Chains A and B, each alone.
Chain A
Amino acid sequence: MLKHRLIPVLLLQNGQLVRSERFSIHQVIGNPIHEVERFNQWNVDELIYLDITRDGDYDLRRDDKKLRGLGTPMEILEAVSRTCFMPLTWGGRIRDIEQAREIFSRGADKIALNTRALRRPEFITEAARQFGSQAVIVSIDARRREDGRSEVVTEGGTAPTGLDPADWARQAEERGAGEILLQSIDRDGTARGYDLDLVAAVAGAVRIPVIACSGVGTYEHYAKGIAAGASAVAAANIWHFKELADRGGKRALARANVNVRM
């Protein structure tokens, strides 16, 4: 039967790979092109690249390195896809079908929609009709309010919507989304583990696969996300902190009796 997936999320900001904390602090980890092949060789099941750039300024930084930076996100995508022999998702700042088409033509297999889907939910349907539901992920960023309830936040974590994440996930599924990528702003970069209640609420509300993300600090956190109902588990920062994080993550999942591809 189908396997549970382990997925690195690589965050791009102004042309650099960054570490993120609570969506507000970003530290530069390096140049995305530098080790694309190494990411591509990780024994993982998919790769997700999210461009979280807020403005259009690309500083390529010091230029005494062997590899130069690349000017645009599309050049980065193309370089990534050249050696990426697993499903590749690209998300961030996708505004219309034409942009989505370009992303697929540069080698992505799926797109992740967030802000634009919230502003205009029909966009999910249009994208699913054009490219197939399996190619459309709706990405949900949730934050706990003071009363403890989760709420969908958009615009890179800056604009609360009042929507309940489970309700929005259900609506996204009805409109044709093939998967949900679920991030928790409170857990992002904190290494405290997934927001398991949030994962369970959203996974319980939809039949499409839910990819849990945000908060992984140890490999043992992954299996808890699966137990809470996620089909796939993702993380960002830990991939930059540990050596051979692919094997470490897979082995921890297997130890917890999760069916994964080794």
Chain B
Amino acid sequence: MIVVLDYGMGNLRSVLNALQAVGAEARLGTGPADVAAAGALVLPGVGAFGEAMQRLAARGLVAALRDAVGAGGTPLLGICLGMQLLATTGTEHGEHEGLGLMAGRVVPFDFPPEHRALRVPHVGWNDVRFRKTDGLHAGMGEAQAFYFTHSYHLRPDDPADVAGVCDYGIDFVASVERGNVSGAQFHPEKSHQMGLRLIRNWLEGVARA
């Protein structure tokens, strides 16, 4: 059973719909017991880093996630803000401690002078170039377009964690994979056939794990 974590940040229906569309058994979960019982976890989210961590903590989910997912445990896919929360530290409205499931910092877009005019948030379809062509991006060729909407991005400490990068004024990390922990800065559930393909790929990885 796939558990999609509901901690009051954003619309989870489309994530659930997408999982079900590719044939997964999925349900919403809200507390530590749901995390412990899950075969795999999806952590979605839209909003600010600090508030999201507070909400997770208030539900006992920070400790539960570290226990279940840490050290090669339950597979987890973070989507959008959910991917950023994997980091050690977030910097949106001050420094905040993240889940620490992937060493790295979440930082705002910092454009070189020639791209100062680019707008933030970065909203729309953009190409992701794959650094890893197994796992999440298996069978997708070298690059595909996905749907983004975000103002910050995750910078992992270990470059080996990067699965895909995207160019918006700078090259930023669009997807990550490290063992049982995966993340997509874009919204696979809103990225049409390629997004569903990514979810299917992730589920296949879960089934093999």
Residues of chain A touching chain B, judged by Cβ–Cβ distance below 8 Å, are 1-3, 5, 43, 45, 81-87, 104-107, 109, 132-134, 178, 207-209, 261
Contact = CB atoms under 8 A, between A and B. Distances in A.
Question: On chain B, which size bracket covers the interface?
Answer: 20 to 34
Contacts of B134: none
8 residue pairs, one from A and one from B, having the closest CB atoms: A261-B145, A3-B125, A2-B124, A134-B123, A261-B125, A86-B192, A134-B149, A107-B13
Contacts of A133: 121
A46 to B, nearest CB: 9
A86 B191 contact: yes
A85 B123 contact: no
A85 B13 contact: no
A3, A104, A209 pick with most chain B CB within 10 angstroms = A3
- Please classify the interface of chain B as helix (H, G, I), strand (E, B), loop, or mixed, using the class held by over half of its residues: mixed
B109 to A, nearest CB: 13
B121 A134 contact: yes
Interface stretch (B14-22, B26-34, B37-45, B201-209): B14-22
A2 B11 contact: no
A2 B192 contact: no
Nearest to A42: B192
Contact of A2 (B46, B126, B195): B126
Interface in B102-122: 119, 121-122
Given A1-B167, A86-B190, A105-B11, A81 B17 contact: yes
B149 A85 contact: no
5 contacts: A3-B124, A3-B125, A3-B126, A43-B193, A105-B13
A206 to B, nearest CB: 11
Contacts, number: 67
Contacts of A178: 123
Contacts of B149: 134
Nearest to B147: A87
Given A81-B14, A86-B192, A132-B46, 14 more contacts: A1-B126, A1-B167, A2-B126, A81-B17, A85-B14, A85-B21, A85-B191, A85-B195, A104-B11, A106-B13, A107-B13, A107-B17, A208-B119, A209-B124
Interface in B75-114: none
A5 B147 CA distance: 11
B121, B127, B192 pick with most chain A CB within 10 angstroms = B192
B196 interface: yes
Interface in B46-99: 46
Given A1-B126, A2-B124, A81 B13 contact: yes
B124 A5 contact: yes
Contacts of A81: 13-14, 17
Given A81-B14, A81-B17, A85-B195, A45 B190 contact: no
A132 B14 CA distance: 18
Contacts of A207: 119
Interface string B178-209: 00000000000111110110000000000000
Contacts of A5: 124-125
Interface in B136-186: 145, 147, 149, 167-168
Nearest to B22: A85
Given A3-B125, A107-B11, A87 B190 contact: yes
Given A81-B17, A87-B147, A45 B11 contact: no
A115 to B, nearest CB: 25
A109 B125 contact: no
Contacts of B123: 2, 134, 178, 209
Nearest to A105: B11
A2, A86, A133, A207 pick with most chain B CB within 10 angstroms = A2
B126 A43 contact: no
Contacts of A109: 11, 14, 190
